[in-house]
Amino acid sequence: MLKVRRIRQMREKPREHCAIFGVTCDDIGYSVSNFLYRGLIALQHRGQESTGISLLKTGGNIFTYKKNGLVSKVLKEKIISQYWGNVGIGHNRYATTGAVGFNSSLYMQPFHFKNNEIEFSMAFNGTIANFDEIKKRMDEMGRIFITDTDTEVLAQLIGSIALGTEDWPEILKLTSKLLDGSYSLILMTSKGDIYAIRDPLGFKPLCIGELKTEQRNLYFVASESCAIDSVGGFFLRDVKPGEIVHLSHQKDIHSELIINSHRTAICQFEYVYFARPDSILDNVSVAEARLQLGINLAKNDPILKNPEIYNNAIVVPVPDSGRSVAVGYAKEAKLPYIEGLMKNRYVHRTFIMPGQSKRKIAVKDKLNPIKNIVKDKDVILLDDSIVRGTTTQQIVSLLREKGGAKRVHLRISCPPIISPCYMGIDFPTKNELIAGRLQLQHGDNYLKAIQQVIGADSLVYQTIDNLTQAIGKTKNELCLACLTGNYPLKSLQKLAQLEDSIVKSRI
Ligand code: SF4
C-alpha cells in the first residue's frame, strides 16, 4: 500500500513538459528581452500554461517575471520594455492534470534562487527520478521547501553545493553526478553566465546557436532549433548528452563532457509528435523523420493491395501532427493526399489539455469532417499516436457518421504506447493507455481489441524497427520505454514493474 501511495504521489506532483530558452549578449547596453519573447513564442507548442523570464540587470541583479498564460499574453510590450538586460533565460511550462497548486505561481519557472551567498535563476525540462531521495536528504539537512517540484529540489541542491564556492562548472558537475533522471537545464548566474546541461542519456533535446553582427555577438540555448531559427540565429549544434556548455557574454562558448554514457536515450516521441517539424534534433530533421514514418507505413500496408479499397481511397491527415506522415504515406502509396478534416485553430492541442472531460469536448469543437471530400470514400486516416484512444475514437466516428466515409482505415506512425513515461511526458497510468490496458487484457490479440474500441475498419501501427529506421538512430540511442516497457534507468524499471502488477491485479 505504501508503494501504491508512492506511485500516486509521483503521479500527482506537478510534472513538466516544457520549453527552455536562454540568450546572452556581449553588449551590456543591449536588452535581450525581445529575443526571449521570440524564442519562447517559437517553443509555445512545448508548454502553454505559464510563461516566465529572468533577466540580469547591470550590477548583477536578477529580475524574474512569470505568470499563467501564453507567451503573447504574459510578455506584453510593456513588460518587454520594463524588464531588460543583456543576459536572460525563459521558460514555457506545461503542468499535468491533478497537480496540487496547478495554477500557482510557485510552480512556474524560471526558478529564482537567492540566499545570503548566492543568486541564480534556472529553467528546467524533465523529471528527476531520484527526487524523493534527494528531497529527503535535503530535508534532513534542514532545507525548507515551498513547493514539491523537481525544479525546487534541483535548485536547492545546486544552492547547497554552491555554499562557499562560485566555481560553477564544478558545482554543476557535482550536481549532475547526484541526479538520476531526464533533464535539460539552463542556469543563469548573477555574474551573467549561462550554463546549459543535458542529462547523460540525453532524453530531452537542447541545442545552441549564435548571432554575430558588427555591433554585438549573441549566443542562444534552446529546447529546439526552431527557436534559434526564429530569432534569426545560426544553429551551432546540439548540447551532447552528459555535457555542460558555458555561454558567456565575455568569453564565448566553452564546454565539457562530464558524464560519458555507453548509450543514449533520446526520446522517440519528440520525433513522432512533440517537436516542431522545422526543428533538427540530434542531427535528425523532425520533418524528414515524419515523412519517412509515413513511407514506412505505406510500404507495409496490406490494404493497398486490395483494388476495391485502393481505387476508392484517399489519404487524410489528422491535423496538424499527422500531416508530414500522411504526405509520406500518400507519396509512397501513390494516392491523393487530401485535407478531409477541418481544424479550428483556436482550440488547443487535445493531448496537452488538462482533464479528460475537457479533452472530450475539445475534439468535437476542434475538428469537423469535410463531407464533400470524405463521403463514400475509403479514408486512410493518418495520425501520430494513440494514447488514451478517446480522441481517435471520436475522430473515426466523426468521419463515418458526420462525414459519410465508407470505411476508415487508421494508420499510426508511433508503435503502440503500452507503458507510462516516467521521464516527464504525461502518459499518466498504464490503465489509461489503451494499448497498455488492452495488451494486459487480450495478450497477442490486443491490436484487434484496440481496433474494435476505436471503431476503425482496419488499424496498422508502425513497428519499432520501422520507427528507428525512420529516425535514423539505433535502439541503443533512443528511449523506447513507452513502447517496450524497458526503461533505460533501473530505478524506473522497478516502478514500471510495480505498476504492471497493480494494473494486472485490477483486471
Ligand atoms: S518513455 Fe516514451 S515519451 Fe517518455 S522519454 Fe521515453 S520515449 Fe519519450
Q: Identify the structural domains of the chain with CATH numbers, from first to last.
A: 2-262 (3.60.20.10), 285-506 (3.40.50.2020)
Residue 309: partners with Cβ closer than 8 Å, 6 or more residues away: 303, 378, 407, 409
Task: Provide the Cα torsion 22, 180, 476, 433; round to 10°.
Answer: -90
DSSP string covering 391-439, please?
Answer: HHHHHHHIIIIIT--SEEEEEESSPP--S---SSS----GGGSHHHHHH
Q: What are the grid coordinates assigned to 422, written together? A: 516516467
Q: What are the grid coordinates assigned to 387, written together? A: 494514447
Are the C-beta atoms of residues 109 and 184 closer than 8 Å to each other? no
d(CA 19, CA 123): 9
In ligand 1, which atom is closest to the CA atom of 481? 1
Nearest-CA residue for atom 4 of ligand 1: 421
The one-letter code for the residue type at 127 is T
Instruction: Pick from 198, 201, 421 the residue to mutate for probing ligand 1's pocket: most ligand atoms within 8 Å of its CB.
Output: 421
Ligand 1 centroid to Cα of residue 27, in Å, is 40
How much is the pLDDT for 385? 94
CA angle 227, 229, 231 (to 5 degrees): 70
Ligand 1 centroid to Cα of residue 269, in Å, is 6
CA angle 42, 43, 47 (to 5 degrees): 140
Q: Which of 424, 389, 445, 418 is nearest to 500 (CA)?
A: 418
Nearest-CA residue for atom 5 of ligand 1: 267
Task: Provide the Cα torsion 27, 33, 39, 40; round to 10°.
Answer: 150
Q: What are the grid coordinates assigned to 122, written together? A: 534556472
Would you give per-residue pLDDT tens digits along the chain (507 residues)? Answer: 333 333 334 333 223 479 999 999 999 999 999 999 999 999 999 998 899 999 998 777 899 999 999 999 999 998 998 888 999 999 998 865 334 344 467 789 999 999 888 999 999 998 888 888 898 888 888 888 888 788 888 999 999 999 888 899 999 999 999 998 899 999 999 999 999 999 999 999 999 999 999 999 999 999 999 999 999 999 999 999 999 999 987 667 888 888 778 899 999 999 999 999 999 999 999 999 999 999 999 998 999 999 999 999 999 999 987 999 999 999 999 999 999 999 887 765 544 555 555 555 567 788 999 999 999 999 999 999 999 999 899 999 999 999 999 999 999 999 999 999 988 777 768 888 999 999 999 999 999 999 999 999 999 999 999 999 999 999 999 999 999 999 998 776 666 666 666 666 666
In ligand 1, which atom is closest to the CA atom of 268? 7
How much is the pLDDT for 251? 67
In ligand 1, which atom is closest to the CA atom of 424? 4
- List pocket residues of ligand 1, CB cut-off 6 Å: 203, 267-269, 421, 423, 425, 479-482
Ligand 1 centroid to Cα of residue 478, in Å, is 9
Are the C-beta atoms of residues 379 and 408 closer than 8 Å to each other? yes
Backbone angles phi, psi at 272, to 5 degrees: -75, -40
What is the chain's Cα-based Rg?
23
Q: Which of 381, 390, 374, 389 is nearest to 457 (CA)?
A: 381
Instruction: Indicate which residues carry an active-site annotation.
Output: 18
Backbone angles phi, psi at 6, to 5 degrees: -60, -45
Return the DSSP state at 305. Answer: G
d(CA 131, CA 144): 15
pTM (predicted TM-score) = 0.90
Are the C-beta atoms of residues 415 and 470 closer than 8 Å to each other? no
DSSP string covering 44-67, please?
Answer: GGG--SEEEEEEEETTTEEEEEEE
Q: Is 130 exposed, middle or buried (0-12, 13-18, 19+ CB in 10 A)?
A: middle
How much is the pLDDT for 402? 94
Burial 65-102 (b: 16+ CB within 10 A, else e): bbebebbeebbeeeebeebbbbbbbbbbbbbbbebeee
In ligand 1, which atom is closest to the CA atom of 480? 7
38: region left, alpha or beta (phi > 0 left; psi from -120 to 50 alpha) = alpha
C-alpha distances in angstroms, 339 versus 213, 298, 326, 335, 458? 43, 18, 10, 13, 20
Return the half-sphere exposure (C-beta side, CA atoms, 13 A cut-off) of residue 228.
Answer: 25
d(CA 419, CA 204): 18
Local structure of 449: helix, strand or coil: helix
In ligand 1, which atom is closest to the CA atom of 488? 6
Ligand 1 centroid to Cα of residue 335, in Å, is 32
Return the half-sphere exposure (C-beta side, CA atoms, 13 A cut-off) of residue 303.
Answer: 25
d(CA 177, CA 200): 9
Are the C-beta atoms of residues 91 and 39 closer than 8 Å to each other? no
Ligand 1 centroid to Cα of residue 424, in Å, is 8
- Tell me how far apart the terminal alpha carbons of the chain are, to the nearest angstrom: 18
How much is the pLDDT for 341? 95
Are the C-beta atoms of residues 158 and 175 closer than 8 Å to each other? yes
d(CA 300, CA 293): 11
How much is the pLDDT for 502? 63
Local structure of 289: helix, strand or coil: helix
Nearest-CA residue for atom 6 of ligand 1: 479
Ligand 1 centroid to Cα of residue 254, in Å, is 30
Nearest-CA residue for atom 8 of ligand 1: 267
